[in-house]
Amino acid sequence: MASIELKSYDPPSTMGLVRSIVAIIFRAISLILTVALATGVGVWSSRYMISRGSPLSVDTYGPWQHWRDLGRESADPYTKAQLVSTGKLRISADSAGIFEARTDSQGARLHSSCNYKIEGASLPGLWWSLAVFDSRGRLIRNDADRYDFTADTIAPNPNGSFVVTLGRDARPGNWIPTGGAGRLVLVFTVLDPANGLSDEQRAERNKRLPIITRESCS
């Protein structure tokens, strides 16, 4: 005759129960924190890639950033969102090169407390402009009413190259006042000619972007 051995049931101790509850609460908090952190990272990374760009949508040439599919039907969502959310009016990348710089050529943030020299090469046959804004895209108020230089208004060097200076105090030559603006954004626009540019010509244009040198800061 078979016998069955019955084990007596041991109720969990109070300490064990407390440990289990603490473990469940800890896991719930970990999960909530993980989801909250992930949400923050997701929103932040999206906004960063929309406002500042990433290698997915932006080409970088020294300090100059170029949204490669700006204004194109085939543009990626970051480029489309950049255009829509900022309210910028931009000529399509098919018809112009639009380059933005927030740093000098050494990588330091452009700021109105510093003086800068911008040296550009000759761009024969291409119409270009160089404008300065504050970090919110506003023109910098100044008594000289001077906010930009273009291929029409610049005083070029004899070889066609040009130098523009940015700073608080007046200087001879192509000077744009920037006093009191805080962080600066430079926008360099080069219009394609009426018959367009080939990829090789675009690459050549992109190699000849101006160099931004910080001279002094106060």
Q: What are phi and psi for residue 121, nearest 5 degrees?
A: -85, 165
Q: Token pair for residue 56?
A: 């997915």
Name the residue among 131, 106, 116, 213 with its Cα closest to residue 169.
116
Q: What are phi and psi for residue 38, nearest 5 degrees?
A: -65, -40
In angstroms, the CA 57 to CA 50 distance is 9
Taking CB under 8 A as the binding criterion, the range among 85-93, 104-112, 155-163, 207-215 that sits at the site for other proteins is 85-93
> What is the separation of C-alpha 73 from the centre of its chain, rounded to a whole number of angstroms?
21
The yes or no reply on residue 147 touching other proteins (CB under 8 A) is yes
Please identify which residue in 166, 187, 209, 212 interacts with other proteins, judged by CB under 8 A: 187
Taking CB under 8 A as the binding criterion, the range among 90-98, 106-114, 165-173, 200-208 that sits at the site for other proteins is 90-98
Cα–Cα–Cα angle for 195, 82, 131, nearest 5°? 60
The yes or no reply on residue 84 touching other proteins (CB under 8 A) is yes
Shortest Å distance, C-beta 198 to other proteins: 16
DSSP 31-88: HHHHHHHHHHHHHHHHHHHHHT--TTTEEEETTEEEETTTT-TT--HHHHHHHHHHT-
Query: What is the widest separation between alpha-carbon atoms in the chain?
Result: 116
Shortest Å distance, C-beta 201 to other proteins: 15
Q: Which residues, 105 to 144, sit near other proteins by CB under 8 A?
A: 125, 127, 129, 131, 133, 136-141
Q: Token pair for residue 20?
A: 């289990």
Taking CB under 8 A as the binding criterion, the range among 14-22, 47-55, 111-119, 162-170 that sits at the site for other proteins is 47-55
Secondary structure of residue 95 in the 3-state scheme: coil
Please identify which residue in 20, 60, 86, 213 interacts with other proteins, judged by CB under 8 A: 86
Question: What count of other Cβ atoms lies within 10 Å of the Cβ of residue 12?
Answer: 10
How many residues belong to the site for other proteins (CB under 8 A)?
Answer: 61
The yes or no reply on residue 68 touching other proteins (CB under 8 A) is no
Please identify which residue in 59, 61, 68, 88 interacts with other proteins, judged by CB under 8 A: 88
Shortest Å distance, C-beta 35 to other proteins: 5
Please identify which residue in 87, 107, 158, 172 interacts with other proteins, judged by CB under 8 A: 87
Q: Which residues bind other proteins (CB under 8 A)?
A: 30-31, 34-35, 37-39, 41-43, 45-47, 49-50, 71-73, 75, 77-78, 80-81, 83-92, 94-95, 125, 127, 129, 131, 133, 136-141, 145, 147-148, 150-153, 185, 187, 189, 191-195
